[in-house]
Each structure stands twice: as C-alpha cells, then as structure tokens.
Homo-oligomer: A and B are copies of this chain.
C-alpha cells in the first residue's frame, strides 16, 4: 500500500491544521532572506508536544523532511522550505504558563512571540532583557534555535543565558526535558546548550523555561561623536569601569545620513563625525549621571570624543535610540546585502580598517554602511545596491565580496555569523569559522540525534 502524505498528516492534524494552498505554502516557506523560492509540500500547525512527537515519528517512518517555523524573521534562510519539506509552524503553540515568582521563571511554548514574553515579564514587575528589532514577530523557539542576541548583550548576554529548561523532540521522536529550570546541574553533557543554536537540525524545540530578572532602574542614553575608530575602544573601556552599561552600539555617519533622510528624527548635535556611539546605562543610584558627565569630559579632553548628548527623559532616550534602531529600515529600499560578523572587541578597529581598504579598492562603486553591537564585537556590514545595478548581478557581486570579508574574518579568528545563524546562506562559508574536524564532529552529533536526516536538512551542515 503506498503512503500518501497529506491524508496521513490530516489524521494527525485535524480541524484544517494541514494547509496546502499556494498562499500558505508561499508564506510559510520563506523567512526574511527573500532570495529563495518557497516550495513546501504542506504546512502543519501542532497544538501540543504529543502532536509534534507523532509527526516526527511519522516523518521517520516515511523519510519526510521537516522544517521548523517560528516567526521566520531569520536572515540566513534557516526556516526556508524550498525542497518539498513539511513546515512545522508553532503559531498555535503560544501559551505562557507556570510563572514562578520565586525562581522568576516562566514556561513558554515555542510559538510565544518575543515581545509577548517581554510584556509578560513587565506585567510581573520583572524584565526579559534579550531584545532586537524583530521582537514583534520572532518567536521563542526560533530565538533559541539561533541563539538570538541583539542590543542588550553587553549587559545581559545572549538568549542562551536565559534558557533554564528546554523541551525538545529529537529527530527520532524522543521527548527530552532538559535541565528542568535548575540553575546548577552537573550531571553530564548539557544537551540544552547543544540544542541552543542548532537551527532545528537535531530536533524540534517545543517549550522552554525562561528566566526573568529585576527590571533595570531608570536608563540614560548618551550619543557621542567619535572621530577615530580607536577612540571607540577607549570610550568603551573607560565607561564600563564606571557604569553598568546596558548597551554600547555604534554607527557610521553614512548610516546616520540614511536615517536623517527619512525625516523622522533630528541630528543629535551639530558636529558631524565619521563614527558615533550610543551607550545606555542604568541609574542605580544618584551618582551615575554625574559619573557619565565626568567620563564625557575626560573623553573630550583626550580627543576621543568631539561632541555628545545625554538623555534627560525617557522620551529623549527613545528618540536617541531611533538614530541606531532605524538604520535597517532606512536602508531597506537600497536592498542591502547583509553580513553579520563577530570578532573580539579589540579586533574591531584593525578589522574595520582592513575591510574598508579592501572594499574601497575592489568595489569602489559600493556604498558600505556599518553599524553594530560593538560592545560584543558584532558588526553588521550592509552593502547597498547601486541603483543602476540589476538585483541578480548585485547579489552575485556581493557573493564575491563575501570571500574578501570572510578571509578577513578568518584572519582575525572571527565568526562569519554572529547572531543570524548559518541556515542556507552561510552554509557554504562555514569552513571559514569552523575547522573540518569540528564540522565532522557536528555531523557525528547530528547523526546521533537525527539518524534519518529529516530535521531541517540542508541547513547549517
């Protein structure tokens, strides 16, 4: 008797939770990369862990490839289904439950939207600190699968640091409850950390126990004009000895110009400068503002900084954040080719200088917009498409640029993907950051968890 996929799925997912219409397939087959042709066989919407398990068992029997689908805000094609896969959407698994005020933990199903988790924490008088631009669409499961980072890492770390328990369905259909919300647990390999950042290739993340924390007291924002790269490092080093920085971001004058062009925000001060830093700190007591002003004066004396502004209200702080946060949207019409690389913080100036020189020499017609989370050594390199260049030609030329970028990344012992994952777009370049031995070991681990190779095949490895 031959196996028929859709009826088999419909037995598991009743109430029209198997979708095969063209719109749904197109919508759920793509993430934010937009450069692939979506072509899944079906999209299913499980409501509980047991349904996910039943699906994985079916997929094992019949060698069905599964692609997990959260908010699909990824930029590396990790959630793309273009090979007839079945997409497993977590849209119907978005319960938040079992809030524990003593442990400050809450259990999130994989489909909980990041912003909902942040709001929930706020409703409890607490704080969930991992934050990034796609907060309104991205979902907890996807955040964990890619170990999301964002704008508060310098103080609060990565998504990894907030997962105290993880429930997964492995490639063989086993349900694992990993770590159960414990802080300390020295009983063998921490499989939780193996799943974090595994991009759905070992199994499906179905639920997480997330730690919350004390809400920060009043936050102040400073924006500083920094004439030289090395000055950024000096400012960073000086500030964090004195202040509990919650963010330390960087952007170039070119990036700022794109934001100002939209007309939503004003230049923060008259001086123009090739680089700017935005730093945010917590006012724990009454002394931080004063300290910040002293640091500013010192930075000006030393010539690291030529101008600056400090927020006097939450509204002003938010307005200053716009200068940094609106960059991506402002350059979107220029179809930027994005790279998201990481190096050690000390390597930021030499890396940027080397890359600027290469790009100016090899690609003088490309405008390169720099910004990033410099407190984490994480740079977003956006190459803007010249208006006259066709999209396909532009992408093809940018893929040539990749070789230059990634060669420099390797020379500086950096990472070709700081927080966007590997997915499809970075998979050919994985060897720039990980050795052949490491990749072979990763394949061995994949084989242990997913012997049939049905979990997000073709991604990462």
CA distance A31 to B170 in the complex (A): 37
B101 near A433: Cβ-Cβ < 8 Å? no
From B181, B416, B435, A344 is in contact (CB under 8 Å) with: B181
Which residues of chain B are near A444, meaning CB under 8 Å? 448-449
B189 near A194: Cβ-Cβ < 8 Å? yes
Q: Does A218 contact B (CB under 8 A)?
A: no
Which stretch in A5-13, A221-229, A235-243, A271-279 binds the other chain? A235-243
CA distance A441 to B414 in the complex (A): 31
A419 near B186: Cβ-Cβ < 8 Å? yes
B342 near A183: Cβ-Cβ < 8 Å? yes
Interface string of A177-211 (1 = CB under 8 A from B): 11011111111111101101111001000000000
Which residues of chain B are near A176, meaning CB under 8 Å? 435, 437-438, 441
Which stretch in A47-55, A284-292, A298-306, A310-318 binds the other chain? A284-292
Given A103-B344, A176-B435, A444-B448: A190 in contact with B193 (beta carbons within 8 A): yes
Which residues of chain B are near A288, meaning CB under 8 Å? 285
From B158, B286, B441, A286 is in contact (CB under 8 Å) with: B286
Interface string of A326-343 (1 = CB under 8 A from B): 000000000000000011
B183 near A377: Cβ-Cβ < 8 Å? yes
Which residues of chain B are near A413, meaning CB under 8 Å? 180-181
Count of chain copies: 2
Which stretch in A65-73, A79-87, A146-154 binds the other chain? A146-154
Which residues of chain B are near A244, meaning CB under 8 Å? 284
B188 near A442: Cβ-Cβ < 8 Å? yes
Q: Does A397 contact B (CB under 8 A)?
A: no
Which residues of chain B are near A100, meaning CB under 8 Å? 344, 346
Q: Does A445 contact B (CB under 8 A)?
A: yes
A426 → B minimal CB distance (Å) = 7
Q: Does A422 contact B (CB under 8 A)?
A: yes
A131 → B minimal CB distance (Å) = 15
Given A161-B161, A194-B194, A445-B445: A186 in contact with B415 (beta carbons within 8 A): yes
A53 → B minimal CB distance (Å) = 12
A378 near B184: Cβ-Cβ < 8 Å? yes
Counting chain B CB atoms within 10 Å of each CB, the highest count among A160, A184, A415 belongs to A184
Which residues of chain B are near A342, meaning CB under 8 Å? 182-185
Which residues of chain B are near A198, meaning CB under 8 Å? 188-189
A186 near B445: Cβ-Cβ < 8 Å? no
B441 near A191: Cβ-Cβ < 8 Å? yes
Q: Does A360 contact B (CB under 8 A)?
A: no
Counting chain B CB atoms within 10 Å of each CB, the highest count among A185, A237, A418, A421 belongs to A185
A372 → B minimal CB distance (Å) = 10
- What is the chain B residue whose CB lies nearest that of A161? B161
A182 near B343: Cβ-Cβ < 8 Å? yes
Within 8 A of B (CB), among A137-157: 146-147, 149, 153, 157
Q: Does A56 contact B (CB under 8 A)?
A: no
CA distance A241 to B212 in the complex (A): 12
CA distance A226 to B293 in the complex (A): 43
CA distance A184 to B430 in the complex (A): 15
Which residues of chain B are near A378, meaning CB under 8 Å? 183-184
Q: Does A17 contact B (CB under 8 A)?
A: no
CA distance A343 to B191 in the complex (A): 18
Which residues of chain B are near A441, meaning CB under 8 Å? 170, 174, 176, 191, 448-449
Given A233-B102, A342-B182, A346-B102: A416 in contact with B187 (beta carbons within 8 A): yes
A266 → B minimal CB distance (Å) = 31
Which residues of chain B are near A197, meaning CB under 8 Å? 186, 188-190
Which residues of chain B are near A147, meaning CB under 8 Å? 186, 190
Q: Does A434 contact B (CB under 8 A)?
A: yes
Q: Does A60 contact B (CB under 8 A)?
A: no
16 A-B residue pairs with Cβ-Cβ distance under 8 Å, sorted by A, are: A100-B344, A102-B233, A102-B237, A103-B377, A160-B190, A161-B161, A183-B342, A184-B376, A184-B377, A184-B378, A185-B417, A186-B421, A191-B441, A193-B194, A444-B449, A447-B448
Q: Apart from A149-B186, A189-B198, what 18 extra A-B contacts exist at CB < 8 Å?
A: A100-B344, A102-B236, A102-B237, A147-B186, A149-B184, A174-B437, A180-B413, A182-B377, A185-B415, A186-B197, A186-B419, A187-B430, A189-B442, A190-B194, A193-B194, A441-B448, A441-B449, A444-B449
